[in-house]
Structure 1
Amino acid sequence: MALLSVKDLTVKFAVRGGPVTALDGISFDVDKGERLGIVGESGAGKSITGFALMNLLSRPGYIDQGEILFDGDDVVKMSPRALRTMRGDRMAMIFQDPMVTLNPVLTIGQQMVETLLAHRKMSKREARQIALLKLREVYIPSPEARLDQYPHELSGGMRQRIVIAIALLLEPKLIIADEPTTALDVTIQADIMELLLELCQSNQVSLILITHDLGVVSQMTERTLVMYAGRIIESGRTRSIINDPQHPYTQGLINALPQQTEPGERLKQIPGTMPGLAQVPQGCAFHPRCAFADDHCRAQKPVTRHYGPVSVACFEVERLSADQSLKEEDA
């Protein structure tokens, strides 16, 4: 049985003029110890997915329908008390900006000790020793001194390491990392991702990595979901998606990578922009930006189908697959 099983999850936001859909019936599983990537442009629904998994959505956002089965429990139906017990203990989240995550008026030690005491019966001395051990695990220099410092006294990279240490404090089964290196220098980003990968592998922790960086996904994850306008439009093994993308949107994301362009040439970009929640077009949401779109794409929403090692929601892939089948039959 999967550690996390998401079934037909729909998230909406109540606004004037009627609710708008942020997640449109997405479904996926995460096994124990598995690393899953969720990629897409800003506005695709990646971060909303992460918040929904922990039932952290606040009004006007709400889960309209679907199931989030985590370790046998339905997160959607959990009481507030059960959610508080689960969050940070069995499922933890690493947010984009460590300065927002960490409390600026409490020392690092106070925040780590409070987290432990909220979920475990132990003395403050025992909690401080565990906090010290976790800081060593994330390679914080002089960890004893760092426990008595405030977040503003530390560098961005060190703050993010501490956030990772706090996420691992209670040995969760699943970590959701939402753009964990966005606020960091490029030179620090690789170190943080390498650390996160090492810790997840050594502790057999499942990881959901939310990012726009396909390069990071290719190095960190085993499976990938590609999202567009609140839907999963392609999913499968990361290596299969990177090496042979099927959906035109996924192809556009990969072609837009700097390494896909010769030095001195303009970067290749996908024309147009991600639609807003209230402007998602009828049919395939990607059709206004797609070079292969036809009337069928504009009128109907494509169903997700399996094609070899990946699952894709695209009429063009469906047509190409049908043509290939006919050629094989003729041969």
Structure 2
Amino acid sequence: MPLLEVRNLEVSFGLRSGDVKALRNVNFTLDRGERLGLVGESGAGKSVLGFSILNLISKPGRISDGQILFEGKDLADMSPEELRNIRGNRISMIFQDPMMTLNPVLTIGQQMVECLQAHRNISNENARTIAVQKLQQVQIPSPETRIDQYPHELSGGMRQRVVIAIGLLMDPDIIIADEPTTALDVTIQAEIMELMVELCERNNVALILITHDLGVVSQVTQKAIVMYAGRIIEQGPTREIINDAQHPYTQGLMNALPQMAIPGQRLNQIRGSMPSLQKIPTGCAFNPRCDYLRDACTKQLPGYTVSGNCKVACHMVAELKQAEQAPHEA
């Protein structure tokens, strides 16, 4: 049994004009110690999926269909008390901006001790000892001193390390990291991602990494999910997706990487932009931006086609598969 299994998940937001679906028919599994990347442009539904796993969708949003099974138990049906035992304890979340995550009027130590005592019956002294150990794990120098400092006294990289340490406090089974290196410079980004992989491997913690950067996903994760307009359009082993992207959108993301451009020329880009959830095109949502447009793309939502070890939602891939099989059948 997988550690986490998401089945037919739908998330809707109730507006005056009616319900708008932010996630549609999302399915995937995550095993213990496995690292999964969620990729896509802003508005693809990555963060909504991360929040929905912990049932943190704020009104007027709600999980309108499907299941989120953690060790076989549906998180979507749990009471607030049951969820409190899961959040921060069994499943932790690391948010984009550490200055928004950390309380500016409490010291690092006060925040870490408070987190520990919310889930465990533990003394201040023991909680502080565990907090110092976790700060050491994330390679913060002089943790005995840093623990009594306020967030504004630390650099951006240090604050992000503190947030990771807080995420590891309860020895969780899963960490959901929502663009954890967005506010950092490139060299610090690489250090933080290397640290997260090392900690996950050492503690056998599963990781869901939410990002728009396929380059980071290729270095950190074992499986990848590419999302577009609230739907999974390609998923499979990361290496297979990076080396042989099947969906035109995934190919566009790959071609948009700086290293894919010819030196001295403009960077490649996908024309157009992500559609509004209130105006998702009929058929394949990517069809207005696609270079391989077919009649079926504007009329019919593509089902999933198995290509190698990947699942792809694209009429073009299905046609190519049929064309490959036709000569053999004949």
Per the normalisation by structure 1, the TM-score is: 0.98
* Inter-partner Cα distance in structure 1 for 2:301 and 2:97: 36
Quote how far apart the aligned CAs of 1:72 are: 2.1
Quote how far apart the aligned CAs of 1:328 are: 4.3
Residue aligning to 2:61: 61
Residue aligning to 1:263: 263
2:183 match: secondary structure: coil
* Inter-partner Cα distance in structure 1 for 2:314 and 2:268: 22
The yes-or-no answer on 1:204 pairing with 2:204 is yes
* Inter-partner Cα distance in structure 2 for 1:183 and 1:81: 33
2:176 match: secondary structure: strand
Deviation track 1:43-90 (CA, whole Å, cap 9, x = no partner) reads 000000000000001111111010000122211001011111110000
The yes-or-no answer on 1:118 pairing with 2:94 is no
Quote how far apart the aligned CAs of 1:321 are: 1.2
Residue aligning to 1:215: 215
* Inter-partner Cα distance in structure 2 for 1:327 and 1:276: 42
Residue aligning to 2:174: 174
Residue aligning to 1:152: 152
Give yes or no for contact 2:200–2:206 (8 Å, CA) kept in 1: yes
Give yes or no for contact 2:234–2:247 (8 Å, CA) kept in 1: yes
* Inter-partner Cα distance in structure 2 for 1:308 and 1:134: 41
The yes-or-no answer on 1:131 pairing with 2:122 is no
* Inter-partner Cα distance in structure 1 for 2:148 and 2:104: 13
Deviation track 1:210-251 (CA, whole Å, cap 9, x = no partner) reads 000001000000000000000000000000000000001000
2:18 match: secondary structure: coil
* Inter-partner Cα distance in structure 2 for 1:71 and 1:189: 32
Q: Which runs of 5+ in 2 are unaligned?
A: none
Quote how far apart the aligned CAs of 1:262 are: 1.3
* Inter-partner Cα distance in structure 2 for 1:126 and 1:102: 22
1:129 match: secondary structure: helix
2:15 match: secondary structure: coil
AA matched with 2:196: L
1:115 match: secondary structure: helix
Q: Which runs of 5+ in 1 are unaligned?
A: none
AA matched with 1:304: Y
| Residues 154-303 of structure 1: pairs in structure 2 closer than 5 A | 154-303=154-303
* Inter-partner Cα distance in structure 2 for 1:100 and 1:116: 20
Give yes or no for contact 2:305–2:317 (8 Å, CA) kept in 1: no
Deviation track 1:115-137 (CA, whole Å, cap 9, x = no partner) reads 01111111100000000000000
AA matched with 2:309: P
The yes-or-no answer on 1:38 pairing with 2:74 is no
Deviation track 1:287-330 (CA, whole Å, cap 9, x = no partner) reads 00011112211001001121111100100001111112224456
* Inter-partner Cα distance in structure 2 for 1:317 and 1:9: 24
Structure 1 consecutive aligned stretches of length 4 or more whose deviation exceeds 6 Å: none
1:177 match: secondary structure: strand
Give yes or no for contact 2:12–2:61 (8 Å, CA) kept in 1: yes
% identical equivalent positions: 63
My pick for the range that moved more, 300-309 or 48-57, is: 300-309
Residue aligning to 1:7: 7
AA matched with 2:270: I
| Residues 90-129 of structure 1: pairs in structure 2 closer than 5 A | 90-129=90-129
1:293 match: secondary structure: coil
The yes-or-no answer on 1:71 pairing with 2:71 is yes
* Inter-partner Cα distance in structure 2 for 1:322 and 1:265: 38
Give yes or no for contact 2:233–2:314 (8 Å, CA) kept in 1: yes
* Inter-partner Cα distance in structure 1 for 2:253 and 2:167: 30
AA matched with 1:101: T
